[in-house]
Structure 1
Amino acid sequence: MTVGAFADAVEAQRIPALVRLDTNLYALAYRLMKLLPAKHILRQAGAEGLLGAGTTVVETTSGTFGLALAMQCALRAHPLVLVSDPVIDDGLRRRLEDLGARVDIVTEPAAHGGFQTARLDRVAAIRDRLPDTFCPRQYENPANPQSYALAAELLRDHLGQVDCLVGPVGSGGSMCGTARYLREAFPDLVAIGVDTHRSVLFGQRDGHRTLRGLGNSLLPANLDHTQFDEVHWLGAADAYASTRRLHRSRALFTGPTSGAAYQVGSWWARHHPDALTVVVLPDEGHRYQDTVYRDEWLAASGLAVTAPAPAPVTVTDPRAAEKGWSRFAWQRRSLAEATAGGALAGAAS
């Protein structure tokens, strides 16, 4: 099989599908959403002379951005070093290594910023030792949100109108980029970000997060808070239950960040029947077959599948969203404006 055939296979996974879930609810369903920024960032780096034939790509990741980079680097024959931490699952690590990546595990968190900071420090140390490297910097590289112009164009061309966009937030790239480009056509678009408890992204204090794939311990430069009209926080129990419900009711096999977004998006669509809502589903569920899709694992973790919460609790301060499903009217404000004049912004940074 030729390299071109492999490239075509990856390209087929990069473009999301548009799936109708209800009368006024659609899913933007990706097989692997991070292929969009991975390809765009590497292509731009090559055009700018930052990525040569023998350049080693070095990045911090514990999830699907690493997988997307590994797929792209395998096709482009670039050496790849991915810095992660103990939360990375064995199946993903095996796949990364099979694609030729070297996975470097940081075992101890930093005093401030936890594993995120420790991983960034390790990336810097690795780059100091190697003669020719490129770091995609998914959290701060503007090419990350720019890559989602493709998704916005797809929605605009196929739906003609989008009134509400709902999706999980991690690096800030997908939601901020897609919302920004959609508002060029639909300025009144409502953008709803989905986060999880003890994530600093929208004003909470950093802490242990059971639900992975969204949230963060650091504030990414690509997170433009002024893009968001609402923010919702969900825990693992609700996200897992909604992930399983999405699979049973719509045969969509997704990860738990998709389940979290679906729970919020379906609720908003029900309460706004005259508006067209799109929910972003970032990836498929293969990594979670032994966890989220396994009743024994859920029961042992105290997260047995039950009906997800029917509606969120509205809070007037992000710090009040400590458990369960909560929502906050962000109103396209900066972090400082939305969190009492900056008091929380300093605590979260």
Structure 2
Amino acid sequence: MYDHIADAMGTPDLVRADDGLVCLRFETMKIVSALTAVRTLLDRGVVRPGDTLVDSSSGIYAYALALACHRYGLRCHIVGSTTVDRVLRAQLAVLGARLEQVAPGDSLELDQARRVARIREILAAHPEYHWMRQYHDRIHYLGYAAVADRIRREVDTRELVLVGGVGSGASTAGLAHYLRQHSPGVGLVGLQPFGSLTFGAAHVADPTMIIAGIGSSIPFDNVAHESYDTVHWIGFEAARAGSVELLRRHAVFAGLSTGAAYLAALWERRLCPRRTVLFVAADTGHRYVEAVFTRPDEVPAVADLAPRQVDSQDDLTLPWSRMDWAGRPAPTSARHPAGR
């Protein structure tokens, strides 16, 4: 029996989608890292019950941190973007978390910069607050050790390829780190949206929308570029097709980043039929009903989609590009973290 709902929600499911294709399904993935990070801070004496934790979020991490604070008796202060919807606002309010939404900017970069600036103002007024720094503190890797243990118990990791969003850097890199301690040959495939600078695609805009959560317009310390073997850049329409096909074929209701992961996993499975490909489903599809699932017959067939193989970011092209990253260092634009 779980002691708190956050413990239950942070426990993922492993679902066999096909021969050699496995889905690692979370209800809300960042609960894993937030719970372990907060518990570690308490164990180390960095924070104590009743203290206030503060961070920036576009939505999912805000919920995860609020649940972790509820679980361990701390206060939560979130500087959020305008993408935090009314359903999440209501949950945060009842959980006792304070939410500030910054005024919308002309770009995602401006939005993220404004949130960081606001956090600095809060810390100047309240130096006793602890900034979680989900983008820069590798304490957020720790929660994925238990998930890696779960994967090893149920999947042969000797010939495993892990596919998932890069995002803040902690999830896929963290999973690969712990899996590789026992199986050094685990492959790592990262997903990026067009417009993200993390792997050098800021110059290519997606005309529809950027897929929240798997990319960034400011540098993140937690991204271990050298851990990735392959990078896929996937646009909104292609990811949407993946999400719809995943629900139609396997009854897995998940968000856009999962649709992108499913699409990339199918391709990697085709390239390496002898290996098991595990893709990460980071959250459910509820936030995406209107944007993704209400007109399923309008999306392209997944069988008709294929990535353009590129050797340089200069050749990136919508709706989908793939590059053998081969453990390269971070692009120059991603090397100097903002928000320290």
- TM-score (structure 1 length as normaliser): 0.89
Name the count of aligned residue pairs.
Answer: 333
Q: Secondary structure at the match of 2:290?
A: coil
Partner of 1:210: 210
Partner of 1:280: 280
Amino acid at match of 2:178: Y
The 5 Å alignment of 1:284-323 reads 284-295=284-295, 304-308=298-302, 309-323=304-318
Counterpart of 1:132 (choices 128, 131, 138) is: 128
Partner of 1:332: 327
Partner of 2:160: 163
Indicate how the Cα distance of structure 1 residues 260 and 345 shifts in structure 2: closer, same or farther if over 3 A, else same: same
Moved >3 Å (runs of 4+): 5-8, 108-113, 206-209, 344-349
Shift of 1:314: 0.6
Q: Secondary structure at the match of 2:264?
A: helix
Q: Are the counterparts in 1 of residues 37 and 142 from structure 2 also a CA contact under 8 Å?
A: no
2:195 aligned with 1:198: yes
Partner of 1:182: 179
Shift of 1:348: 10
Partner of 1:19: 15
Q: Are the counterparts in 2 of residues 225 and 335 from structure 1 also a CA contact under 8 Å?
A: yes
Q: Are the counterparts in 2 of residues 199 and 216 from structure 1 also a CA contact under 8 Å?
A: yes
Counterpart of 1:77 (choices 63, 73, 80) is: 73
Counterpart of 1:95 (choices 67, 91, 101) is: 91
Name the stretch that deviates more: 311-320 or 224-233: 311-320
Shift of 1:158: 1.2
1:298-348 alpha-carbon deviations (Å, 9 max, x no partner)? 89xxxx423245211011112322421100110011124xxxxx4x55799
Give the aligned CA root-mean-square deviation in angstroms. 2.3
Quote the Cα distance in structure 1 between the aligned partners of 2:314 and 2:254. 29
Counterpart of 1:38 (choices 34, 54, 76) is: 34
Partner of 1:339: none
Structure 1 unaligned spans of 5+: 337-341
Indicate how the Cα distance of structure 1 residues 111 and 104 shifts in structure 2: closer, same or farther if over 3 A, else same: same
Shift of 1:138: 0.7
How much identity, in percent, do the aligned residues show? 31
Partner of 1:271: 271
Shift of 1:183: 1.2
- TM-score (structure 2 length as normaliser): 0.91
Shift of 1:90: 2.6
